[in-house]
Structure 1
Amino acid sequence: MSQQTTIRKLATLVNTPVEKLLEQLAEAGMPFNDPDQAVSSTEKVKLLGFLRRTHGKAEKPADDGVAPKKITLSRSRKQELTVGGGKSRATVDVVVRKKVTVVRPDAEQPEPTDERAEILRKLEESKQRNLAEQQALAEADKRRAEEAEAAKRAAEEAERLKAEVAAAAEAGAVEEEVPAKAATSHGHGHPKPAPARTDDRASPRHKTRGSHAMTAGVEDDDRTKRFAGQMHLSASDRARRTSSTRGRAKPRRHADQARSGTGFTRPTAPIVRDVAIGETITVADLAQKMALKGGEVVKALFKMGVMATITQSIDHDTAALVTEELGHNVVRADAADVENELLAHVEDVQGEKVARPPVVTIMGHVDHGKTSLLDYIRRTKVATGEAGGITQHIGAYHVETGKGVISFLDTPGHAAFSSMRARGAKLTDIVVLVVAADDGVKPQTIEAVQHAKAAGVPLIVAVNKIDKSDADPMKVKNELLEQEVVAEEFGGDTQFVELSAKTGQNIDNLLDAISLQAEVLELQAVAEGRANGVVIESALDRGRGPVATVLVQQGELKKGDYLVCGVQYGRVRALFDETGSQVESAGPSIPVQVLGLSGVPDAGDDFVVVEDERLAKDVAQQRDAKRRESRLVAQGGNRMEDIMAQLGQGEGQLSLPLIVKADVQGSVQALKEALTALSTDAIRINVIGSGVGGITESDAQLASTSKATIIGFNVRADASARKVIETNGVDLRYFSIIYDVIDQVKQVASGILGVEIREDIIGTAEVRDVFRSSKFGAVAGCMVVEGVVKRNKPIRVLRDNTVIFEGELESLRRFKENVDEVRANTECGIGVKQYNDVKPGDQIECFERVEVQRTL
């Protein structure tokens, strides 16, 4: 704690409200009136003394030089022990360490409290039990040592008698009492103790080989026990005894190990566990919770008549029966346990709220200038990168303006993107409704007003294109009166700003209106702590994996955080802003791209940063299981409805199966909703599969099996998928504008036959290198890998099977000559008109539009 600690920081450290800490300081004689005032160390000590006196505790005495109450002494003693003789003689160091603690008799002990007295009593009882066990072990070791010493002395005496008998037999003077004495010694279970041999013990022969007198003064440790009683033997005798000892098995010491706390001991009684079981559980998980092998649980199930493998799931009742059969208790697992833990985890994160930037959503009808308005504010060219000049993705940007930071959400205006607009209205603080002055109120304009009212957010109307000659702002205001949007000049509360996104006229007035509305709302959020927010858009990038564009609403999202996002989870590997620059963190109201999720989350999912990966994984898996169960139930209901409908219609309703693959999640949702809405009584549009990313082999196999048409929206099929499509004749159609998708499917579904314009890919070239030219800009050195590339044909630039640009082929050359076409396996130079971001590894796709007679 530093010297300049404020009262607010001190309250946070001691986990005390600021107001209570101010009252305690005032009672201690130190009045403060501002939580941000600094508190010195002297004032902290004074406050501590006041609090100790208040709670009945004595002040801690200062160091007055009195002798300590307890002294700990450490002693170490080293001795040398000689082992062996002759060349095998060795010296062993024996070190004895001892620690002695001396307590002063007159040292006063503090009066223990009731809780402390109970703890001291338990510690004293544990100490007495440990002391008794140690004494019992010491006595047992002493008895074993005495028995071993007695057996050793008996063996030595027998060896001595045998040696004397042998020596006497060789000398021819064997006395009668020696065999009798030997027989007497061997005839009993316990031999008589040998007589004292002080002369032999004091002889030089024993001194040179090592005697008991040498080991008597040595501390009794493992090494001295090992050589005790064998110092007087010769080298050959010791070698013989050592080899015989090694050949014998060591005695088992389970009891000793159990008493000393080392080694494993089997439990004396079976362990009964509380097993939490949900609606369903796999046999493997159940066995793990009971600490049993999976085969034992399978065997118990077989005995009960349930044939289940280790990977199969069983219901709650079956799992409860087998658990009780195996001797464990069953606990009902609440399905919302993990969600409750996550909710408590989020509620614990609280902090001081600070002002945050406003989140503004740009809404309105298609081609009314929403993206152009945002483009002028950002000073970039966003609209030129969209197919057909219309926005087909939801974009998120934060802009540094003269009025402060403002976060913008750009929503598409096409009718198919209703869910995107609704999602944008829910995320926002302010809705800017863009209406063209020359076009007036359109269906999507009315829909945007309804979304804003449903979300309960304030509305600012931007009347765009006032620079046109046929502009009529008053017509827009009158038409909006029918939707209960009343301008301020008419006595209402809605701000109207007449501007031009092309010339920049009155753009500053719009920013002033946004800033004024933000000040009225008093937007605040917690800027520190774990973050939470909403997924705006998501996509699958082949090089970077799942990418989610999120809007932080509370806290701070940092690199390395663990987060759960719908049914996906992961750790943040990197954060990128809208310009592609990597950032370390993002605060409230700031949109960023997140890398590191386990999969592509759905647009509109909430994300929450959690403390560890375990909680994130558990929540994501439980949500995924619930979603899968609900989807299975829904599919079952649909199948039953289909059967009933077919029975009622005789031959049944015609069905057009489709597989939709797009570049982002929002486009997938919009296409599914738009295509499903085209169903009629005669034909039903059935989207049997959808996803984000390129068309894979599994998609082609599914389409071949179900006779479905694959719709690729700004994505392409890989090599393996194209092979399956060509082999099985699967209908594959590429689109880049949502109008074309809806129009073609609508014409087929409505039975309107006619001429359709189909895009046929005539050639593909792979970029090998990029050269810079003063005349044409970036010239791509390519190798034509498929078909033929023709001059003056429309082209698309693909990167990782995803369309990044669509335009025209400006120049086509072989060496230095202009050519009209280049065929496969031929090198050429390609110049793309108004595009200079071609990179090695990209693919340039050349196609032509042809008229084909439509057939149902």
Structure 2
Amino acid sequence: MSQQTTIRKLAALVNTPVEKLLEQLSEAGMPFSDPDQAVSSTEKMKLLGFLRRTHGRAEQGAVDPVAPKKITLQRKSTLTVGGGRNKPTVDVVVRKKVTLVKPEAGAGTDGVDDERTEILRKLEESRQRNLDEQQRLADADRRRVEEAEEAKRREVEAEAERVRVETEAAASVATTEEAPRKSHGHGHPKPPPARDDRTTASKGKHRGSHAMVAGVEDEEGAAARFAGQMHLSPADRARRSTARPRRPQRGQQRDQSRTGTGFTRPTAPVVREVEIGEAITVADLAQKLAMKGGDVVKALFKMGVMATITQSIDHDTAVLITEELGHTAVRADADDAESELLAHVEDVTGDQTQRPPVVTIMGHVDHGKTSLLDYIRRTRIAPGEAGGITQHIGAYHVDTPKGVVSFLDTPGHAAFSSMRARGAKITDIVILVVAADDGVMPQTIEAIQHAKAARVPLIVAINKIDKAEADPSRIKNELLAHDVVSEEFGGDTQMVELSAKTGDGIDDLLDAINLQAEVLELKAIADGRASGTVIESSLDKGRGPVATVLVQQGQLNKGDFVVCGVEYGRVRALFDETGGQVPSAGPSIPVQVLGLSGVPDAGDDFVVVGDERLAREVAQQREAKRRETRLVQAAGNRMEDIMAQMGGGQQLELPLVIKADVQGSVEALRQALTALSNDEIRVNIIRSGVGGITESDANSAATAKATIIGFNVRADASARKVVDTHGLDLRYFSIIYDVIDQVKQVASGILGVEIREEIIGTAEVREVFRSSKFGAVAGSMVIEGVLRRNKPIRVLRDEVVIFEGELESLRRFKENVDEVRTNTECGIGVKAYNDIKPGDKIECFERVEVQRTL
């Protein structure tokens, strides 16, 4: 059954808007309201006649008295411009409209007649070209049908030949097997009927005619029948000129009757190579596997991973599920921007020259690290530190009489372990400051471990030798236990005795630094693009993100484009440690950089690149990778983890918002406060960052009902308004000890009190007496502690609790007493219990409330 033609399809065939076609049908006396209504052939012919009359062409044998006096020709062409990498494309549409006016009868001139004749000639040529194109399309359709029929005929003949050969072979085998049976009286089996090849040959002979190929008419017949039907599309003409296809014979597959349009099932499973990066979402993995997302989620669930279709999974999990589904996983290539950046860095070449040493001062808190650096710099840094301790890394370069030396001053508190480790990784020499009157302390041991892990030479500065209780020999002996052997003991560690207060031994320390630097032969490329490490970072209200960087190679200049971790930007200004602006910085020189897009993390590497495009692409790719990694960590909800949470009971939570002056302090506070968590309460840092406390921070704290901690920063006016409106807990600190103590107090308040039972005394039953008033009275001896009246008791028999109740009476001889102490006899009446026996023990206890702490 042929499919009906709708107005919408007809408009598409004649390349006319649907609205215009509806208008033409209405003018022709055939009003239609819906574009999806069917149009019959009669209506198409009626519309064709109307259009011919409208355009000045009357019906054959008819004269239109009201023929139009003008004709309008329209032409539209579309040109696509633009495009390319990261550029949009624009479609330019050019429309051209020409109106031709038919002159009045008898009023025209020869020039007008010539113009009219030319127009009619062009219209006739256009109509003839359309007819030729339609004829060409019909011929192409006819040839395509003939080729398909020829291919199908060859397949049928090949199949018939194969069946005939197999039949003859089977008949010969059967004849060979049946030969021995003839002697036993069995008859001959009938051979299968052979196929008549003449039928096939006759069919093949008739298929050569166009008139016999699937009922297709010859070219002349089709052209004669449908030459005047201009309203038909080429597909409709091909369909009308083709007879109904013959039904397939019995046993012949339906796929063979189709002309190559059927679906063929693959003979083997399709194995795909899937590129997987560090992380991938379940939806992207399903798309690469050509599977439904639900099937991938189901396969993950069978492997014990609960993930939705929008969540990310790590590389290993993605590889396992890909191989489980029968495909091959390959690691995705490295990011193009990262590869370009690596080539950018490796391209820096030049002569290496001697550079100043980078020295990190480490040691226990209050052992005089900053005071030592203060004396070397001839400044007053130590009195300005909060609580007299250093709480972030300070970077300075000092022009000493022995040469230029860059110093890094690290904190000594236990919370700043990551800072000290970072300082040991980017330094050349570590100076371990140990107080002669205090000895080796925990942070001293930790500094030794950091220096050994970074394989950095160590110089021990024994400070405070000016004090009366100073004992440098004890310090050297204590360091022997940690494999730090002095040169005077035959080791390789220089130990200098000095006093940061009086200046004794400072010159010896500088000599030791220069000697160690000469041994190391420190060199770097002084020219070219700079690279180095971020020591510290902060957010200044007036200057924006500020990063203190240590240049390790090349020359950092004002105006350079830099990549700093996931941040990038152009260097707007460079400042030294005194606040003075400098035009550039060479190797081993620390400077402050302004102009970054955000606050980088302490410890990130920075690289100078040639243009902003590369810097931006590298930063964006790193940020995307970090975000995927964070999503994978947040979505690591395996089934065993969920079951553990269900079985572990509800855990209390203390939400915190932390803002500090520098990135290193934020990192130290996060680590120190998160370490306070235990099985009962979890310290959750919901938001942290550098800079002042803003309205956004306050709103986040209000949503999570969190406590806000400001470390060397303050809240602005809008943030204070939010704090007052919601009654938030806002606390300011300048010393990290106070932060930890205050958080412990807040957590203890959340935990509340705990009811504990304390055993205060135990008595042993020696004899049981019967009393008409109290029932069974136990004559007992207090063997431990004290028994008090009106306290709960337990009765133990063979160290097993058999009853728990209260004391009804406690007597000594015939008098009631309030308590009985150790090695004293007494009579005990147990309330509502008479089954007490000699040898039992009566345990007296009391319940007390204890404040729960971390």
The TM-score with structure 2 as length reference comes to 0.50
The TM-score with structure 1 as length reference comes to 0.50
